[in-house]
């Protein structure tokens, strides 16, 4: 994590993953903003920019196929490295392309959303959505490195920044009560200052630490890693129900509220947990309920999801 990484990405990438060619994968929003700067950081190395259409609807098998075909058509071979420059969608799709391109080539993550910085760039889960549900096709493939420059947050829309805070609040809730309160008490400053506040760098670093620590102990999610799915069983069901009209962070915000209430009722979370979680999410400007759908609607949608307790 550093404030001066954008201009050094070429050299940093080559230092962790030496290669003949570098494929920078980005999306249609991030490319116009940062593509040129990142390309020029590669100086005279063989490098090319590949752009996928932005949006969750494009985190698909079709996008993965088209991306792979264009990288092949551009003459890239096994001696290539992929650079995922963008949010969680670019990271998941480009990471999956790297996992499968000629049976696997290295990649680095350059997250540009808060969601990607604190969560999706860490842990090596890559993949795309299937019509039947989120992330149903994918691979574990660890990046050679993750380079996070908080300055990217300067252009991130407000709603996207808030969605990223949902995962930050999740990290506090599952792992560190002190972190949870510190984040809760500084939400207005975190939102107003974008990447510029020193506090934002600390938040990014602490969230990375929490997630990396869990993943290091249970990479393949046989036990402990499931803790990172707090809010996601219901959250993923909601994303599918509303046809991805809600952002991932917004859906898991609603999911965390519901799951915390269930946990409290089942006697496995301390009384007051659900209220504390909802209070922090409300302060972050995130939705905490989904009045349009009934419990059974959500349960049915959850049954067809991977992170499911009924399916
Ligand atoms: N692999 C994992 O472990 C993991 C973890 C959490 C979430 N995810 C996945 O991540 C995805 C969500 O990621 P996301 O929230 O980053 O969404 P995203 O990738 O769609 O990015 C959000 C929006 O912001 C734009 N954008 C990105 N960076 C920008 C910048 N710096 N300035 C201006 N605009 C910018 C993007 O083009 C997009 O429109 C979901 O598909 C979710 O399932 C994966
Ligand atoms: Zn998530």
Say whether pLDDT at 299 is over 70: yes
Would residue 248 show up in a list of annotated catalytic residues for this protein?
A: yes
DSSP 224: G
Instruction: Kindly report the protein residue whose alpha carbon is nearest to atom 2 of ligand 1.
Output: 120
Pocket test of ligand 1: the residue of 116, 129, 134 to mutate, having most ligand atoms within 8 Å of its CB, is 116
Query: 197-216 pLDDT, tens per residue?
Result: 789 999 999 999 999 999 99
Residue 310 banded pLDDT, cuts 50, 70, 90: very low
* Cα angle value 210/212/215 (rounded, 5°): 110
180 contacts 303 by C-beta, under 8 angstroms: no
Which residue in 225, 250, 278, 307 is the catalytic one?
A: 225
Q: Average pLDDT of the chain?
A: 94
Q: Which atom of ligand 1 is nearest to the CA of 123?
A: 3
- Annotated catalytic residue 167: yes
Q: In the prediction, which pLDDT does 196 show?
A: 77
The distance between the two most distant Cα atoms of the chain, rounded to a whole number of Å, is 60
Render 23-58 in DSSP notation, one character per residue. EEEEETTHHHHHHHHHHHHTTTSEEEEEEEPPSGGG
177 C-alpha to ligand 1 centroid (Å): 26
Is the CB–ligand 1 distance for residue 143 below 6 Å? no
Q: Which two tokens stand for residue 180?
A: 């949870």
64 pLDDT band, cuts 50/70/90, is very high
- Confidence at 133, pLDDT banded by 50, 70, 90: confident
Residue 132 and residue 180 in contact, taking contact as beta carbons nearer than 8 Å: no
């Amino acid at each position: 994590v550093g404030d001066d990484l954008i201009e050094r990405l070429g050299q940093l990438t080559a230092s962790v993953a030496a290669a003949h060619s570098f494929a920078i994968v980005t999306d249609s929003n991030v490319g116009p903003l940062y593509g040129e700067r990142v390309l020029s950081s590669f100086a005279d190395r063989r490098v090319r920019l590949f752009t996928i259409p932005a949006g969750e609807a494009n985190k698909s098998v079709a996008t993965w196929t088209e991306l792979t075909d264009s990288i092949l058509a551009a003459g890239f071979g096994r001696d290539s490295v992929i650079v995922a420059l963008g949010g969680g969608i670019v990271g998941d799709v480009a990471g999956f392309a790297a996992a499968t391109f000629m049976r696997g080539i290295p990649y680095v993550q350059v997250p540009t959303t808060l969601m990607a910085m604190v969560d999706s760039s860490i842990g090596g889960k890559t993949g795309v959505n299937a019509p039947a549900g989120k992330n149903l096709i994918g691979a574990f493939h660890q990046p050679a490195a993750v380079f996070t420059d908080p300055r990217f947050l300067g252009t991130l829309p407000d709603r996207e920044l808030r969605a990223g805070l949902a995962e930050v609040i999740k990290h506090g809730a599952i792992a560190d009560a002190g972190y949870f309160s510190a984040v809760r008490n500084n939400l207005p400053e975190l939102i107003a200052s974008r990447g510029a506040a020193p506090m934002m760098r600390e938040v990014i670093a602490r969230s990375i630490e929490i997630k990396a620590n869990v993943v290091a102990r249970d990479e393949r999610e046989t036990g402990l890693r499931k803790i990172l799915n707090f809010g996601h069983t219901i959250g993923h069901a909601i994303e599918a129900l509303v046809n991805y009209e809600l952002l991932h962070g917004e859906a898991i915000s609603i999911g965390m509220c519901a799951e915390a209430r269930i946990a409290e009722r089942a006697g496995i979370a301390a009384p007051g947990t659900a209220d504390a979680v909802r209070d922090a999410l409300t302060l972050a400007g995130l939705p905490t309920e989904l009045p349009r759908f009934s419990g059974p609607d959500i349960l049915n949608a959850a049954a067809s999801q991977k992170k499911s307790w009924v399916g």
